[in-house]
Structure 1
Amino acid sequence: MRKVQYGVAVSLDGYIAGPNGEVDWITIDPEIDFTAIWAQFDTLLMGRKTYEAAMQRLGRSTFSGKSVFVFSKNLVTKDHPGVTIVPELTSSWIRSLKNQSGKDIWLMGGGTLFRHLLDLGEVDSISATIIPVLLGSGTPLMPSPYSPTMLTLSTHRVYKSGIISAIYEIRK
């Protein structure tokens, strides 16, 4: 069975975007091998806001060769070629996707979608890239309500820039 990994950049004080959706604080470290990270996945899951930001920042060609699913009640499939728009996320839908053959599934950004999948018990690991910056406000990594989820550190790396990459497995 394929696994869902939440891949996210997060500030040291726990935000994944600034108060107005800013991500200009996320620095790109040349030591991080994005090609190797990208090669682990053949399926991408995103909420509408993450998808729109990724399209603006990276462009459509970035997703070529990947199955892309965007969760939105507002987007229309015909306006987004090569992308599957999913209006409602259910446990049976995600389990069906996980049971298909292929590489693992990357849940990209978006705290609300992450929270929903976590509450469904369908997130297997979290790959957090901790950026050495304090934002003070913004979109939290983990939206409310209070609901502790126990994690086990699987691997980590500290870069010269001060960025820390850590992968945590969800204890089930």
Structure 2
Amino acid sequence: MRKLVYYVASTLDGFIAAPDGSPDFLRLDADVAAHLAANWSQTLPTFTHPQFGIDEPAGRFDALVMGRATYDPALKIGVTSPYAHLKQYVFSRTLPPAAEPEVEIVSTDPVEFVRELKRRPGRDIWLCGGGQLAGQLLPEVDELIIKLNPYVIGSGIPLADRGFDPRRFDLVGTRPFDSGVVILHYARPTEVG
């Protein structure tokens, strides 16, 4: 079965964006950018591939899910398919159907939709953001990969916006960078018994 992987940048205090939804305060230092281009090129917007020297993005994903607030910045700059190299599912109850074949607007329950999507044949699914969608989908997340940035911002969009509901993940890998960013890779614990 396909896995749902929440791959996201976060601050030390657990925020993925400023209160207005902007992640602009998070720098992309050269060491991290090189690593992302080499190892996570699918998670870079298609229109940025030339500046990273990416001809054909490689990786484990063939689809992504995102919330409306995560999709909006691309729309504001006139990009209607920010990850054209992937099938994109955007959760919104207000957006009209997308004109691009690789973008599908989904107005149904995210949990049920993702459960069904995980059962379909294909590669893994990237949970791109945002915090509200991640909060709803947290029980379905199989892996959590956090690009932990050396910032404390005090408030903003939380990593997973949901009520108190502790979920344990096991640490399976770390990758520190000279710039202070650490990529933390967690997996849902294997159920025993």
Q: Give the structure-1-normalised TM-score.
A: 0.88
Q: Size of the alignment, in residue pairs? A: 170
Most deviating of 95-104 and 28-37: 28-37
SS at match of 1:31: helix
Whether 1:162 aligns to 2:180 is yes
Whether 1:139 aligns to 2:157 is yes
Amino acid at match of 1:82: E
1:2·1:101 contact (CA, 8 Å) conserved in 2? yes
Deviation, 1:69, is 0.1
Deviation, 1:89, is 2.2
SS at match of 2:113: helix
Unaligned segments of structure 1, at least 5 residues: none
1:23 paired residue number: 23
From the superposition, tell whether residues 58 and 11 of structure 1 become closer, same or farther in structure 2 (CA, over 3 Å): farther
SS at match of 1:52: helix
SS at match of 1:2: coil
Q: Give the structure-2-normalised TM-score.
A: 0.79
- Measure, in 2, the Cα distance between the counterparts of 1:109 and 1:117: 10
1:63 paired residue number: 83
Whether 1:76 aligns to 2:96 is yes
Whether 1:94 aligns to 2:106 is no
- Answer 1 or 2: which has greater strand percent: 1
Displaced runs of 4 or more, over 3 A: 54-62, 78-82
1:10 paired residue number: 10
1:34 paired residue number: 36
| Percent identity (aligned) | 36
- Measure, in 2, the Cα distance between the counterparts of 1:30 and 1:149: 33
Most deviating of 14-23 and 47-56: 47-56
